[in-house]
Amino acid sequence: MKHNKIMKEDKSEKLNNILNDIGSAVVAFSGGVDSSFLLYRAHKVKKDAVYAVTIQTPYIPMREIEYAVEFTKKLGIKHKIINIGIPEIIKHNPIERCYYCKKELFSRLIDFAKSVNCDTVLDGSNADDINDFRPGMKALKELSIRSPLLEAGLTKNEIREYLRKENLDIWNMPAMACMLTRIPYNVEIKQETLKMIEEAESILFEKGYAGARVRIHDDVARIECFPCSIEKIIANPERKQIVEKIKKLGFKYVSLDLEGYRTGSMNP
């Protein structure tokens, strides 16, 4: 136990050293757990030499944008929102979608960093991300984007623990992901489809199923929730009303995935 504590302290110190060695920086701030911790720590270490930038697209839920605005305002961090549409190259959700998307979005961040004389662009990838199918990591490397949490060897659980120690409410927030992960590969991405996904997940969120995903398969909404919530949602007296609300969005069928929520369930 003592050895583990020392290792975690070493990682925290390593992160601070990495951030100290970086000049002024733009942090790609999605509003999720990882980027929130990175931004918080970078601001703590570098003060006004840090700028938070949030990319707003049709495939990022509005509640994440709203959280990003609230978080930066509360901590007094400079914050910029950049609006973009759906890049043409990912309109049919190719398997390498994440690579093309990261290339486009982070090129915008690099341009912004140059405009405000910032030396480096940082992203919130962590040590767990190298164990999943993440084509976007290749784009970050090609663009020379720094990932301090990954460089320090910090895992998602360790990041949550540090956030909890800092009394930041986000420490137990469910993982977020862009809504394109709810759509099968090689299927055209439409604004109305993204709106259906966002509204369906908002219905589940408001009913107490934070972190639930709604994956689309033609006219079927496949719900993935945490395994501990499967029995709860089945027995919920409001289940019928939840189904009716989701169907009103345009779905013909609503199903519950008995495997529960898992990352990358749409990956081939």
Sorted by where each starts, the structural domains of the chain and their CATH numbers stand as 2-172 (3.40.50.620), 190-256 (3.30.70)
For residues 8 and 221, which has the higher predicted lDDT (pLDDT)? 221
**pLDDT interval class at 205 (50, 70, 90):** very high
Q: Which two tokens stand for residue 221?
A: 């909404």
> pLDDT tens-digit profile of 137-183?
999 999 999 999 999 999 999 999 999 999 998 888 887 778 999 99
Specify the pLDDT at position 268.
59
Mean pLDDT of 208-223: 95
Residue with token string 């405009």: 115
Q: Which residues pair with 215 in a beta bridge?
A: 222
* 28 φ/ψ angles, rounded to the nearest 5 degrees: -70, 105
Specify the pLDDT at position 4.
57
- Give the CA dihedral 115, 145, 133, 9, nearest 10 degrees: -120
> pLDDT tens-digit profile of 27-52?
999 999 999 999 999 999 999 999 99
In the predicted model, is pLDDT for residue 1 greater than 60? Answer: no
Q: Distance between CA atoms of 183 and 179, rounded to whole angstroms?
A: 8
Specify the pLDDT at position 8.
60
Specify the pLDDT at position 29.
97
User: E strands within 19-61?
Assistant: 25-28, 50-56
CA dist list (Å): 187 to 97, 113, 151, 181, 262: 11, 33, 35, 12, 21
> Which DSSP string corresponds to 75-127?
HT-EEEEEE----GGGTT--TTHHHHHHHHHHHHHHHHHHHTT--EEE----G
Specify the pLDDT at position 182.
96
Q: Distance between CA atoms of 266 and 263, rounded to whole angstroms?
A: 8
Specify the pLDDT at position 176.
75
The percentage of residues in the chain with a pLDDT greater than 90, rounded to a whole number, is 84
* 250 φ/ψ angles, rounded to the nearest 5 degrees: 130, 0
For residues 263 and 40, which has the higher predicted lDDT (pLDDT)? 40
Specify the pLDDT at position 83.
96
In the predicted model, is pLDDT for residue 220 greater than 60? Answer: yes
Specify the pLDDT at position 44.
95
Specify the pLDDT at position 175.
76
Specify the pLDDT at position 265.
80
Q: Which residues pair with 220 in a beta bridge?
A: 217, 253
In the predicted model, is pLDDT for residue 127 greater than 80? Answer: yes
The DSSP H or E segment spanning 45 is helix 33-46
Q: Which long-range contacts (CB under 8 A, 24 or more apart) does 254-258 make?
A: 254/220, 254/221, 254/223, 255/220, 255/221, 255/222, 255/223, 256/222, 256/223, 256/225, 256/230, 257/215, 257/222, 257/223, 257/224, 258/230
Specify the pLDDT at position 203.
96
> pLDDT tens-digit profile of 61-101?
998 999 999 999 999 999 999 999 999 999 999 999 999 99
**pLDDT interval class at 9 (50, 70, 90):** low
